[in-house]
Structure 1
Amino acid sequence: MPRAKLTVRLPDSPWIRDISTAYPDATFRVSSVLPGSEIAIGVVELAAANPVPILAAIDDRSDIRDLELLWKHDDTALMQIETSNPSLLVPMQRAGVPVETPFVVEDGRVTWELTTSADRLSTLGEAFDERGIEYRIEHVRAVDARRAERVLTERQREVFLTAIDAGYYDVPREATLTDVASVLGVSKSTCSDVLHRAESAIAHRFADANLERGPESR
């Protein structure tokens, strides 16, 4: 099963395309979205030097049915928006590809990370082509579910869970490394080495799944 990262140039009609190109330094982070055939509802975080005129421009749009400001603080605002133009999500719906959130829109472009079948990914590309939507595939990587589950070896998992149960990771710490090693019946140095490898594996898996890293950081 492939996992793909795409950068898509949005079509002209959606509000988020026009507003984000009018304010290219603003960032729109869509944290959740409820697509429909005639409307779409989303929760969007706006980050800009001055969000006020941008909020006003969004509210003035004819395709915005409702804008509810949830909170605003300095250069950030969170809003729930209902739009009568869900065309941004139509290709995803046609291809049967779930919309993963959060995703970011900047200067008329959206970056999506998608996990789906190869056939559905191909159908999505066809849907973009039919509508004349420009897109670039940043990468496609195979996802092996069995490998994804094997973050830790059995030994690393045993030691790591023992450390958790003993309170080694509690704040404040309820057990020392010596305590964990004693429960396992191993030396302190062995326990430390196995725990360090387990923590490294978990940290790298978290970073790969959640953080945007350039080639220089790998």
Structure 2
Amino acid sequence: MFEVLATAFEHQPSISMPRAKLTVYLPEALWIHEISTAYRDATFRVSSVLPGADVAIGVIELVASNPVPILAATDDHDDVTDIELLWKHDETAVLQVETTDPSVLAPMQRAGVPMETPFEVEDGAVTWELTTSADRLSTLGDAFDEQDIQYRIEYVHAVDASRAENPLTDRQLEVFLAALDAGYYDVPREATLTDVASALGVTKSTCSDVLHRAESTIAHWFAEDHGARESHGQ
């Protein structure tokens, strides 16, 4: 499927690269599949990943009414070799997990497709947004197929190098618009960061991180698109 879409992009010279969103169904043997399906009400947000040939390390923000049994179940899993609690407050815990089964990340490495973070794992599935070349997108699909990793393409559409129409990811746009609608950017401010996070059903730290990334992207995009950096330096 990816190969067909990638070929279509190759025959449109005005398009520099495709942006894809896909849902990947994690192999049942993976610890994160087992834990996320056993604790469906919990949120597993991966903020960073360090993949390797035989091991992968990830920093995960866990939000649950009681994180303790989830931490214990994760620690008991066979392919988890190390788990370190980095921070905990009320219903939120940040942990670093090392696993000996990085198989779901192997197709990304083989295709040379950078993994965008943060992303969430929900009920044994993960949704990734990717911006890469048509060739690499096709290679990624082949790699998933060869490892029998099931996936669903949510969309593939064109973006130019500057992403002029919308420089934000779908998640960043969702959070930014929620903050805008709530009055977070009004003067005087009509809503707090806590209000925005509550409306989205996420933690304050998650909301702050995504919103900061969105604001940074918009600021840099505006400066580059309007030549503000060049004129400022003159």
Q: Normalising to structure 1: TM-score of the pair?
A: 0.67
CA distance in structure 2 between the partners assigned to 1:132 and 1:87 by the alignment? 11
Task: Report the Cα distance in structure 2 between the residues aligned to 1:150 and 1:27, rounded to whole angstroms.
Answer: 27
Over the residues paired in the alignment, what is the CA RMSD in angstroms? 2.6
- For residues 146 and 61 of structure 1, the distance between their equivalents in structure 2, rounded to whole angstroms, comes to 43
| 1:146 Cα offset (Å) | 4.4
- Structure 1 runs of 4+ off > 2 angstroms? 146-151
- Could you tell me how far apart the structure 2 residues matched to 1:60 and 1:149 are? 47
| Equivalent in 29, 33, 49 of residue 17 of structure 1 | 33
Unaligned runs of 5+ in 1: 152-170, 173-201, 210-218
Secondary structure of the equivalent of 1:124?
helix
Structure 2: give runs of 5+ residues left out of the alignment.
1-16, 168-186, 189-213, 222-234
2:56 maps to what in 1?
Answer: 40
Aligned residue pairs total: 159
Closer/same/farther in 2, CA of residues 51 and 147 from structure 1, 3 Å limit? closer
For the pair 1:30 / 2:35, whether they are aligned, the reply is no
**1:26 maps to amino acid:** A
Distance 1:25 1:150 in 2: 32
Please tell me whether residue 131 in structure 1 is matched to residue 147 in structure 2: yes
Tell me, yes or no, if the aligned pair for 2:104 and 2:149 is still in contact at 8 Å.
no
SS where residue 148 of structure 1 aligns? coil
In 2 relative to 1, CA 39–74 (structure 1 residues): closer, same or farther, beyond 3 Å? same
Letter in 2 for 1:103: F
Distance, in Å, in 2 between the alignment partners of 1:44 and 1:147 is 29
Q: Which amino acid in the other structure matches residue 114 of structure 1? A: L
Amino acid in structure 2 at the alignment position of 1:108: G
Q: In the alignment, which of 81, 105, 118 is matched to residue 134 of structure 2?
A: 118
Higher Cα Rg: structure 1 or 2?
1
Matched, 1:53 2:69: yes
Distance in 2, Cα, partners of 1:141 & 1:84 = 35
Alpha-carbon offset, residue 99 of structure 1? 1.1
Q: Which position in structure 2 is the counterpart of 1:145? A: 161
**Could you tell me the TM-score, scaled by structure 2's length?**
0.62
Letter in 2 for 1:105: V
Counterpart CA distance in 1 for 2:111 and 2:87 is 35
